[in-house]
Amino acid sequence: MGKPELVLFSSMTKQKEVFKPLVEGKVSMYVCGVTPYDFSHIGHARAYVAFDVLYRYLKHLGYEVKYVRNFTDIDDKIIKRANEAGEDPLALSGRFSKEFLNDMAELQCLPPTHEPRVSDHIDHIKDMITKIIDNGHAYTLDGDVYFSVDSFPDYCRLSGRKLDDNRAGGGGRVSVDLRKRNPADFALWKSAKPGEPSWESPWGPGRPGWHIECSAMSSHYLSHAFDIHGGGKDLIFPHHENELAQSRAANSESNVNYWMHNGFVNKDNQKMSKSDDNFFTIQDIIAKYHPLALRFFLMRTHYRADVNYSDRQLDTASDRVFYIFQTLHDCAMALLPFCEESFQCRVPDETQKLINKFHVDFLASMSDDLHTTAVLDDLMDPLKAINSSVKDLKKSKGKRQQQLIQGLRALEEEVKDVVSILGLMPSSLPAEVLRQLKEKALKRAGLLEEQVMQQIEQRALARKNKQFEISDAIRKELYAKGIALMDEPQGTVWRPCEPPEIQPEEPPEIQLEEHPEIQQNEIH
């Protein structure tokens, strides 16, 4: 069975479109990067995880992908922050650019093919502005250069706005200039001002406007026509609308085949943003939660939808990630004694049928505009099958044992492949990921592992003395902090869990006093 056609939602046509690249077998993709004047927040993580998933899936489909993501390393906000701190603007943006790259590495985002900075492409920007002026789409005013929206009839085609609705200044990053021919005209070049970095140009010393940079860099790295342009939906207007206009004004053959935009991360149902000071940085979150839990949380909602941030949802995501890696670890341990052995028998029919269905559903979901929510739900079926097979393997012999081993190997390979495509598989072993997840759980609980072990010992003593009220109280207290105690044949162990929102009379699913046989992987 062949792979389904990849379908992506186009912000231009407002509908899903079958993806057909300009050059067969190759994809060119530009995603607007950060303005690095502070630590990046999880709204940024939302965008770059979404397009990392697209990047990974395109590569999985066999495309050669050229992925460009820029840094806006010179901007009004950077200059303001640098002046307040008494720091060079380029030094400040360089410092926060490095922090951003560290955050992306933590979130398992693959490095793009190119990561250009505005300050390194001033000549390309000036060349494009010159073409726009020569083509009659821009004018100069005392060292400033403005794009004339009246000269471009298709202006607002992407956003669907009416020209009368446009905010003066082109989006709030610049003050209103009453000299402009139309209040909606936006700056391509800004004349030099005291205390700001500047470069020489045909119109006098100055620096680029906000929008022109992406047009110049995308055309430099990907040519005037390329496949995909992405970013947050807040960039549709004015940034991408202005990009589209100035790119076509510079070159009539300029075109983006697919405009794609991700939804916001909201806090208390308001968009999370630096300007509103209602954001959590990526570093804030991964200080308490494993980076894979944050990535899982972001992929749990379809990339075009808004997601509302809460610690509760991060707890749930962390619990699911722990389940994934506990299952992979248990599978690896179960197969370890047989790693040197090969068997002639086939994978059991039931297992193969499950793997085939999961694989087909995975391709169908991902090819339907990157439906990661469905994939993460479907992932539970092969994981449960692994846990069931691990248990059966312990009590099987002969041909049945060999079949189970073959089935486990196939299940493990399929799960690892899909988890890797989703960007959830780090280079470290599952056991190391589990250790890291437990460290984060202890930090959220405000406990040291030694304290948990002491509680386990106290509980064991209480059970020995048939003081079940005391033993239950210890277990409930830890459960309320996100620590689950698991009674196993070799003794009591602990694992992170999703704490209850409201403490129930009895923790759901882990009535360990009454059901000591419950195993760790049954709780997820």
Residues 6+ apart with CB under 8 A from 475: 459, 485, 507, 510, 512, 513
Residues 6+ apart with CB under 8 A from 148: 137, 138, 139, 181, 182, 185
SS3 360: helix
* 37 and 171 assigned to the same domain: yes
Per-residue confidence (pLDDT) for residue 505, from 0 to 100: 45
Tokens of 65: 């992908």
How long is the chain? Answer: 524
Q: How far is CA 295 from CA 176, 212, 213, 313, in A?
A: 40, 31, 29, 12
Asked whether residue 399 is domain-assigned, the answer is yes
Cα–Cα dist 25/434, whole Å: 38
- Give the pLDDT band (50/70/90) at residue 279: confident
* 223 and 279 assigned to the same domain: yes
Do 158 and 166 form a contact (C-beta atoms < 8 A)?
no
Per-residue confidence (pLDDT) for residue 508, from 0 to 100: 41
* 404 and 458 assigned to the same domain: no
Q: Which of 210, 310, 280, 293 is nearest to 38 (CA)?
A: 280
Per-residue confidence (pLDDT) for residue 235, from 0 to 100: 97
Domain residues for 139? Answer: 25-287
- Give the pLDDT band (50/70/90) at residue 223: very high
Per-residue confidence (pLDDT) for residue 22, from 0 to 100: 98
Per-residue confidence (pLDDT) for residue 514, from 0 to 100: 32
Q: How many CA atoms lie within 13 A of 332 on its CB side?
A: 11
Per-residue confidence (pLDDT) for residue 504, from 0 to 100: 43
- Give the pLDDT band (50/70/90) at residue 165: low
Asked whether residue 4 is domain-assigned, the answer is no
Give the number of other CB atoms < 10 A from CB of residue 122. Answer: 18
CA diameter of the chain:
91
Asked whether residue 473 is domain-assigned, the answer is yes
* 183 and 131 assigned to the same domain: yes
Give yes or no for residue 283 having a pLDDT over 80.
Answer: yes
The phi, psi pair for 358, rounded to 5°, reads: -60, -40
Element of type H or E holding 58 = helix 42-60
Q: What angle do CA 104, 106, 90 make, to 5 degrees?
A: 40
How many domains does the structure of the chain reveal?
3
Instruction: Read off the pLDDT of each residue in 212-237 and give the average, rounded to a whole number.
Output: 98
* 71 and 120 assigned to the same domain: yes
Asked whether residue 441 is domain-assigned, the answer is no
* 344 and 244 assigned to the same domain: no
Per-residue confidence (pLDDT) for residue 415, from 0 to 100: 98
**The three-state (H, E, C) secondary structure of 169-236, written as one string:** CCCCCCCCCCCCCCCCCEEEEEECCCCCCCECCCCCCEEECCCHHHHHHHHHHHCCEEEEEEEEHHHH
Per-residue confidence (pLDDT) for residue 1, from 0 to 100: 55
Instruction: Residue 263: give its domain's CATH number.
Output: 3.40.50.620
Asked whether residue 54 is domain-assigned, the answer is yes
Alpha helices in 336-371 (DSSP H): 349-367
Cα–Cα dist 363/365, whole Å: 6
What does the pLDDT look like over 326-376, one tens digit per residue? Answer: 999 999 999 999 998 898 899 999 999 999 999 999 999 999 999 999 999
Mean of all residue pLDDT scores within the chain: 92
What does the pLDDT look like over 2-20, one tens digit per residue? Answer: 789 999 999 999 999 999 9
* 51 and 81 assigned to the same domain: yes
Q: Long-range contacts of range 400-406, CB-CB < 8 Å, 24 or more positions apart? A: 402/343, 402/345, 403/345, 403/346, 403/347, 403/348, 404/348, 405/335, 405/338, 405/341, 405/343, 406/343, 406/345, 406/346, 406/347, 406/348
Per-residue confidence (pLDDT) for residue 2, from 0 to 100: 73
Question: Per DSSP, what are the bridge partners of residue 255?
Answer: 225
Q: What percent of the chain has pLDDT over 70?
A: 92
Asked whether residue 154 is domain-assigned, the answer is yes
* 280 and 361 assigned to the same domain: no
Could you tell me the pTM of the whole model?
Answer: 0.92
Instruction: Read off the pLDDT of each residue in 85-95 and give the average, rounded to a whole number.
Output: 97
Cα–Cα dist 57/132, whole Å: 36
Phi-psi region of 52 (alpha: psi -120 to 50; beta: other; left: phi over 0): alpha
* 82 and 137 assigned to the same domain: yes
Do 100 and 48 form a contact (C-beta atoms < 8 A)?
no
Q: How many CA atoms lie within 13 A of 310 on its CB side?
A: 7
Do 50 and 304 form a contact (C-beta atoms < 8 A)?
no
What does the pLDDT look like over 431-448, one tens digit per residue? Answer: 999 999 999 999 999 999
Give yes or no for residue 385 having a pLDDT over 60.
Answer: yes
Per-residue confidence (pLDDT) for residue 501, from 0 to 100: 79
Per-residue confidence (pLDDT) for residue 518, from 0 to 100: 27
Give yes or no for residue 175 having a pLDDT over 70.
Answer: no
Asked whether residue 437 is domain-assigned, the answer is no
Q: Which of 322, 320, 339 is nearest to 409 (CA)?
A: 339
Element of type H or E holding 28 = strand 26-31
More confident residue, 174 or 282: 282
- Give the pLDDT band (50/70/90) at residue 502: low
* 256 and 149 assigned to the same domain: yes
* 404 and 340 assigned to the same domain: yes
Give yes or no for residue 171 having a pLDDT over 90.
Answer: no
**What's the helix, strand, coil split of the chain in %, to 5?**
50, 15, 35
Residues 6+ apart with CB under 8 A from 87: none
Asked whether residue 299 is domain-assigned, the answer is no
* 454 and 416 assigned to the same domain: no
